Amino acid sequence: MAKVKKHPMIRGLSGAIGNMIYREMPNGETWASGKYDFDHRKFSQGQKDHQSRFQKAVAYARTAAKQHPIYAELAKGTVKSPYNWALSDWFNPPVIHGIQRQAGCIRVEATDNVQVIRVMISILDEEGGIVEQGEAIRGEFGLWEYETATEGRVRVEAWDLAGNVTSKEL
């Protein structure tokens, strides 16, 4: 891919001309590259599955980039657009780093590349049935807290803005 510098005829041009593709980048630069030929390419099942996931991510990002102001906030001062942040959020589920239980309080450390919006705590009995369930509240230092006196196994589920869910048990 070649970078076009200071050529008044090409600067700002985008699209295909002959066998060349011109792209205007978010920072205003114009890039030129050769046209790709995918006419005879056969995709594996894994590639088809990824293309399907990507289509779903694009559908989410198109609307979410306009509906959720956090994506625009994250994009300010970067080369990423709100659409890029929404697309990235769809592909990156939250991560539960740790679960602590002490003195009637369950604390959960969960992060996401954009934002964790909800943490659900379930207390399970020996057979795995739910004894108690409720939403944790965002506390200090980004920890999520849930107060309970019920004993049992703890299952934590964390949601992000894109609807991804991660689950972990203590």
Give the per-residue pLDDT at 26: 76
Give the per-residue pLDDT at 24: 77
| Bridge partners (DSSP) listed for residue 167 | 157
Per-residue confidence of the chain (170 residues) as pLDDT tens digits? 455 555 666 555 667 777 788 777 777 777 777 777 777 888 999 999 999 999 999 999 999 989 999 999 998 988 889 999 999 999 999 999 999 888 888 899 999 998 999 999 998 888 878 888 889 988 888 799 998 888 888 899 999 998 999 999 88
Give the per-residue pLDDT at 46: 94
Whether the Cβ atoms of residue 156 and residue 168 lie closer than 8 Å to each other? yes
Q: Is the pTM of this model over 0.85?
A: no
Cβ partners under 8 Å of residue 149, min gap 6 = 104
Nearest to 122 by CA among 87, 155, 78, 86: 155
Give the per-residue pLDDT at 121: 92
> Is 38 in a helix, a strand, or coil?
coil
Q: How far is CA 168 from CA 15, 32, 109, 122, in A?
A: 47, 47, 11, 11
Whether the Cβ atoms of residue 91 and residue 57 lie closer than 8 Å to each other? yes
Find the largest Cα–Cα distance for the chain: 73
Whether the Cβ atoms of residue 28 and residue 58 lie closer than 8 Å to each other? no
Provide Rg for the chain, Cα atoms: 23
